[in-house]
Each structure stands twice: as C-alpha cells, then as structure tokens.
Structure 1
Amino acid sequence: MIRNVVFDFGAVLFEWNPSNIVAEFTSSEYEQELLLSNVLGHSDWLSLDRGTMLLAEVIPKFSARVGFPESRMEDFFVHVQNHLTLINISANLVEHLLALNYPLYYLTNMSNAFFETLNDNHPFIGEFKGGIVSANELLIKPEPEIFELLCQRYQLKPEECLFIDDNAQNIITASELGFESVQFVPNEACVRQIMDKL
C-alpha cells in the first residue's frame, strides 16, 4: 500500500530542457554547443549537484573552459535558474495529492543555490514533509545510498513509497530498492498511471 509520494524536481516538477535553455540564452549555435557540452553536460555540473563544488568555484572554471567573461557566465547561471519553471500538470498533481492527504517528499539532484532559488520562488515546496537535496549530502542519484538516506531520515519504507522521476536509471535503482516507481513524462496518461498506483 502506497502511503508516501516522492518527487524528483528537474523535468518532473520543474522544466529542465538544456537545449531550450541555451537556445534562449544565445542565438549563436557555436555558443549553444559550447554551453551544452562544456557546462550543462560537463562533469563539473555533476560536482555542483553532488555538493563537492560550489557555484563560486565552478563559474570561473566554466568561464575559462568556454571563453566567456565571468560576468556572462554568472548571467547564464541566473538564466538557467529562471528557466526552472513549474510544470502545470505536475503542479496540479501535487495539489491533488495534498488534497488527498498524501505525505509528499522530494529527492533531487541539485545544487544548494538552485534549490534555495526554487524554494524562495515556490512556497508550495513548504507543503512537502521533507526531502533530500543531493548537494547537501555529497550523494547523487542513482546511487542507492541517497535513496536509503531518504528512508532513514524520514522513517519511510520503500514499498510504501511511490517514486516519480524522469530518469530511467534512477527509476531502475529505486525499483531495485523496493520503491513503486513511475518514469515521468508530462502528460495525462502518466498522471493516470501515477493515480492508478495509489
């Protein structure tokens, strides 16, 4: 029996489309490719999510790697955060689940700075019972330890949790650990699949 629902943030609750993000920052296809491969797709981005590097450390590295002035790279990071907009169908799902009194949790790979921005901009996050932000724990999905930490911290049983994530590998790990899981796509069919599991 499902008693709790666990949400990923990027591409589940909030838009995360790197190609759109870079295209709306610069019309230069060369610069778009630089930003995709050397910033958003670089291992330093994972270090940011893991919490082993901070924004103040990675911005100079990314600037040097891409050949942008640091001020422009800072602008890009503000741009990225501004594009983490709420997905309407997911917002409605959260509202519905709260109305049904399901305790909600989050498990997200994200830097502290990005999470704080989202938390400030979206008061509904305060309706969640709690959650794990990867950068605070020096762990990252799909490592099993971050799922285990969520359960340990909030006394959750995996088999009583529905885990919603867009990433296939995260879904596989969660399922192996005993979570009921749904790979998210932003459409009504997926919402029905989620509700059918409750």
Structure 2
Amino acid sequence: MTKSNASAATGPIRNVVFDMGGVLMYFSGIEFARKFTQDEKDAQALDAALFSNPSWALLDSGTIDTDTMERIAAVRLPERLRPNLHECIHGWYRHRRNIPGTNDLVARLHDAGYGCYLLSNAGTNFMAFKDDIPAFAHMDGWVVSAFVRLMKPDPRIYRLLTDEYGLDPAECLFVDDNADNVRGAEVAGMQGHLFTTPEALEEDLKARGLSF
C-alpha cells in the first residue's frame, strides 16, 4: 500500500466502492469534442464551452438539465458550431471508452463475494449508458450525484450510499482518481484508494487482505 493510499479507517474490507469517470471509463472532454468537429480549434472551443465549462458541475449536481447546459454553452460558441454542440451534448457518451482492467477487477471481486458499488458525480444521462459499462452488471448498488442533489467530496453522499445499502463505512474501500473525493470518503468513515492504474489498485486490494 502506497503512502498516498493510506486511510484513517482501518480493518477488513468487505465492499469496494468505485468512481466512474477516470476509474471505470475514460473521460476526456477534448476527445469527445473531436468526435463532433473537423477542426482542432473548433474542438477546443467546444470543449471549453461544454465539458470544461464550470457549469458542467451544475449538470452533474442535478441543478440544471441538459437543455439549460446547452444554452449556457451556446453563448460561448459561434453560431456555426451550435449544431455541433447540440449533437455533442446529446451524444458524447456514445464515444466513451471503458477501462478494461478496472471493469475486470469489479467482476472478479463480485464473483469472490465482495460487495461492489458505484458512486459517481454524473448527470442524469447516466441512465442512457450505464448498461454499456461492463462492471455495472456486477454492481450491488449505485448512487449518482444528479439524482440525489449531492456531489463528492461532500461526506453526505458517501453516507447516503452506505445508509441506503446498509453498509459499515469502515468496511468500504472507496476508489477514485480525484484526491479530494478520496478524502471526502475518508471523512465519511471509509477507507480510500487514490486510483492511478488497475494494476496498482489490484496490488493495494491484495495488500489489504482481499482474495479474489
């Protein structure tokens, strides 16, 4: 276990809680934008107006809907890119790529009897692509920010998940590629792993005594 993965809580792990973007699937706004534009400068403009826009967090929080996000992004773009924006905001998720190693780990953990859960900051369009994430079929439960109007790293969203599914936070390992989100889980009483690669995660899981 690396120093960066050390947690305040200790003890046996019976459940592993996974972030989505950056852990189970790649999330790159510029990569998505390139799918809907032919010019690199246009792709950068589309990314800046949409995925890198501070208002994107409002979409994930459930504060605004997709149509409102589109209107917010549109004012930052020339008229000629408005059709690209419309296609992108309604179809970016069709171009997402899964991270095979982590999805495989979820399946192996679940088959070995460990609880597997998803906790993600994401919008309501999650429902349109959740079943395309291989690991989702092995999840015992999930919480997505837009549906509960809470976002990581607010400790309340982690507690909402553990309360909903009757889990002891100290028996949960939370996996996220964002250090603030990991810290939020630790404040909520979970153990934490700062995700870098599936291989490093597997090594840490085995170092914590998990057998799968």
Deviation of 1:132 (Å): 0.6
Deviation of 1:190 (Å): 3.0
Of 27, 38, 52 in structure 1, the residue corresponding to residue 49 of structure 2 is 38
Task: Give the aligned partner of residue 92 of structure 1.
Answer: 104
Q: Secondary structure at the match of 2:13?
A: coil
Stretches of structure 1 lacking an aligned partner (at least 5 in a row): none
Q: Which amino acid aligns with 2:57?
A: L
Q: Distance in 2 between matches of 1:86 and 1:195?
A: 23
Corresponding residue pairs, total: 197
Deviation of 1:147 (Å): 1.1
Q: Which amino acid aligns with 1:88?
A: P
Q: Distance in 1 between matches of 2:28 and 2:207?
A: 28
8 Å CA contact retained: 2:185, 2:192: yes
Q: How does 1:156-175 map to 2 (within 5 A)?
A: 156-175=167-186
TM-score of the pair, normalised by structure 2? 0.84
Stretches of structure 2 lacking an aligned partner (at least 5 in a row): 1-11
Q: Distance in 2 between matches of 1:194 and 1:165?
A: 14
Task: Give the aligned partner of residue 199 of structure 2.
Answer: 188
Deviation of 1:154 (Å): 1.2
Deviation of 1:33 (Å): 2.8
Of 77, 83, 87 in structure 2, the residue corresponding to residue 71 of structure 1 is 83
Deviation of 1:102 (Å): 0.8
Q: Which amino acid aligns with 1:161?
A: C
Q: Secondary structure at the match of 1:53?
A: coil
Task: Give the aligned partner of residue 112 of structure 1.
Answer: 124
Deviation of 1:78 (Å): 4.2
Q: Distance in 1 between matches of 2:146 and 2:155?
A: 15
Residues 38-68 of structure 1, C-alpha deviations (whole Å, 9 max, x = no match): 2112122101000011112211221232235
Overall identity of the aligned pairs, in %: 31
8 Å CA contact retained: 2:74, 2:85: yes
Residues 83-129 of structure 1, C-alpha deviations (whole Å, 9 max, x = no match): 3221111111111101111111110000011x112224246514311
More moved, 70-79 vs 80-89? 70-79
Q: Distance in 2 between matches of 1:35 and 1:65?
A: 9
More moved, 148-157 vs 67-76? 67-76
Deviation of 1:25 (Å): 3.6
Deviation of 1:70 (Å): 4.1
Q: Secondary structure at the match of 2:159?
A: helix
Task: Give the aligned partner of residue 9 of structure 2.
Answer: none
Deviation of 1:187 (Å): 4.1
After superposing on structure 2, the runs of 4+ consecutive aligned residues of structure 1 that deviate more than 4 Å are none
Q: Distance in 1 between matches of 2:198 and 2:117?
A: 21
TM-score of the pair, normalised by structure 1? 0.89
8 Å CA contact retained: 1:16, 1:83: no
Task: Give the aligned partner of residue 130 of structure 1.
Answer: 141
Please state which structure has a larger fraction of its residues in helix: 1
8 Å CA contact retained: 2:74, 2:82: yes
Q: Distance in 2 between matches of 1:150 and 1:95?
A: 20
Q: Does 1:103 align with 2:115?
A: yes
More moved, 37-46 vs 158-167? 37-46
